[in-house]
Amino acid sequence: MTVWLTMLVVGLLTFGTRLSFIYLFGRQQIPTRVKRGLRFVPPAVLTALIFPELFLPGGTLDVSLGNERLIAGIIAALVAWRSRSTVATIIAGMAALLLLQALAG
Amino acid sequence: MPAARAQFWSGVKAELPILVGVVPFGLIYGILALDAGLTALQAQAMSTVVFAGSSQFIMAQLFAINTPVVVIIITAFLVNLRHALYSASMSTYVKHLSEGWKYGLAYLLTDEAYAVSINHYREPGELKYKHFYLLGSGLALWTTWQISTAAGILVGSVIPSELPLDFFIALTFIALVVPNLEDRAGLASAFSAGTISVIAFQLPFRLGLVLAALIGIVVGMVVEEKWPSMRVTGRERQADREGPG
């Protein structure tokens, strides 16, 4: 039930956001400050989700070569930077993680 | 209305190259949503009700780790705020349409549909039937997203659970963020948000996530103000590539 309600609320909020200015048919301008801030929403939110996955495996800080997810994540980031390809990034990162886990036995 | 039909199909055609990149995301989303504990019906319904790729990934991940509902809602809302920008830029082109058209097109206004349609709107040509172009690109994306989600759900129910599937989410986010970090402000925003998210991880209700995102946004704005347009690379900015945005 919680999942359904959450889904519904997020769905309505998303729809409302997409409709917002279309509904106001262009009479309202977005303040420049807000517009500038919106650009940083994706990198800020997504990185805030990525970092704990990489640096806190199992909930504790691990910045060592033994942290397979951190190493695999760095490799994936390098591939993403060079290739700009989503598929290449995901394959490289997953292959690196599986390989590192196999090596660690 | 042959003119309308022609607009519709050229919208569909313009969307095709993007769809190639959307299919893997739909598949991964379907797999992950099951892995996160959603039922097949919930996973599929999310693709229809929310219809926003990055939020759906984030929601699946947050559901998996029992995040409080309020935090899930705020996070998904923040991630989707950029659509207000698309809405603003589209508003002048659709103001002559009926309420029904406005609601329908707003529902379909994803990153990908916006990206191809706004270019079409900005080209010269009669405005009268151009909304059929947005309808075509939007529906092409919508259909692809539903089908690839369903395929992911089917695959997800037979895939071995020992695979570290949850890592797909982090990898997907990396693939979305890294290529778009093209200036100092973006880098500063991402790294400050990431660092705060690790430091503040122990805060209750996953509030560290919201705190980190807000600090990241402010840091990005401050850096941009102090050092405007300092580009790290000369590459062109690309549209987000995460399934329907």
Clarify whether residues A57 and A98 are in a common domain. yes
pTM: 0.75
Average pLDDT over chain B reads 87
3-state secondary structure of B177: helix
Of B16-20, B142-146, B202-206, highest mean pLDDT: B142-146
Question: Quick check: A26 pLDDT over 80?
Answer: no
What average pLDDT score do residues A19-41 get?
80
Domain of residue A25: give its range: 1-30
Percent of chain B residues topping a pLDDT of 90 = 51
pLDDT tens figures, B9-58: 999 998 887 887 788 889 989 999 998 999 999 999 999 999 998 899 98
What average pLDDT score do residues A41-59 get?
89
3-state secondary structure string across B182-244: CEHHHHHHHHHHHHHHHHCCCCHHHHHHHHHHHHHHHHHHHHHHHCCCCECCCCCCCCCCCCC
Clarify whether residues A66 and A97 are in a common domain. yes
A36/B contact by beta carbon, under 8 A: yes
Other Cβ atoms less than 10 A from the Cβ of B229: the count is 8
| Nearest CA-CA partner of B82 in B59, B111, B108, B39 | B111
Clarify whether residues A87 and A54 are in a common domain. yes
What average pLDDT score do residues A68-73 get?
97
Between positions 48 and 87 of A, the ones with CB within 8 A of B are 48-56, 59, 61, 69, 72-73, 76-77, 80-81, 84-87
Q: Is A54 left (phi over 0), alpha (psi -120 to 50) or beta?
A: alpha
B24/A contact by beta carbon, under 8 A: yes
Q: How far is B68 from chain A (nearest CA, A)?
A: 10
Kindly tell me the burial class for residue B147, based on how many C-beta atoms sit within 10 Å of its own C-beta (0-12, 13-18, 19 or more): middle
pLDDT tens figures, B80-137: 888 887 888 888 889 889 999 999 999 999 988 988 898 888 888 888 899 999 999 9
B94/A contact by beta carbon, under 8 A: yes
Clarify whether residues A2 and A44 are in a common domain. no
Clarify whether residues A78 and A44 are in a common domain. yes
pLDDT value for B235: 42
More confident position, B160 or B137: B137
Kindly tell me the burial class for residue B234, based on how many C-beta atoms sit within 10 Å of its own C-beta (0-12, 13-18, 19 or more): exposed
DSSP-assigned letter for residue A31 = P
Q: Where are the domains of chain B?
A: 2-156, 181-226
Percent of chain B residues topping a pLDDT of 70 = 92
Confidence of residue B234 (pLDDT cuts 50, 70, 90): very low
- CA dist A93 and B15 (Å) reads 28
| Minimal Cβ distance to B75: which of A4, A5, A45 | A45
Clarify whether residues A24 and A67 are in a common domain. no
Clarify whether residues A47 and A98 are in a common domain. yes
3-state secondary structure of A91: helix
- Within a domain: A35: no
Clarify whether residues A24 and A72 are in a common domain. no
Confidence of residue B169 (pLDDT cuts 50, 70, 90): confident
- Within a domain: A50: yes
Clarify whether residues A50 and A84 are in a common domain. yes
More confident position, B102 or B237: B102
Q: Are B69 and A2 in contact (CB under 8 A)?
A: yes
* Residue environment code for A74-88, b if the CB has 16+ CB neighbours within 10 A, otherwise e: ebbbebbeeebbbee
Count of the separate structural domains present in chain A: 2
pLDDT value for B245: 64
Question: Quick check: B242 pLDDT over 80?
Answer: no
Question: Quick check: B236 pLDDT over 50?
Answer: no
Clarify whether residues A13 and A61 are in a common domain. no
Question: Quick check: A23 pLDDT over 60?
Answer: yes
Q: Quick one: chain A helix, strand, coil %, rounded to 5? A: 80, 0, 20
| Nearest CA-CA partner of B87 in B53, B48, B116, B118 | B118
pLDDT tens figures, B49-59: 999 988 999 89
Clarify whether residues A64 and A100 are in a common domain. yes
- CA dist A61 and B194 (Å) reads 13
A96/B contact by beta carbon, under 8 A: no
Contact A19 B87 (CB under 8 A): yes
Which range among A72-76, B84-88, B106-110, B219-223 shows the weakest confidence by mean pLDDT? B84-88
Contact A3 B38 (CB under 8 A): yes
Kindly tell me the burial class for residue B198, based on how many C-beta atoms sit within 10 Å of its own C-beta (0-12, 13-18, 19 or more): middle
What average pLDDT score do residues A47-72 get?
93
Of A88-102, B10-24, B154-168, highest mean pLDDT: A88-102
* A chain contacts of residue B212, beta-carbon cutoff 8 Å: 44, 48
What average pLDDT score do residues B188-210 get?
90
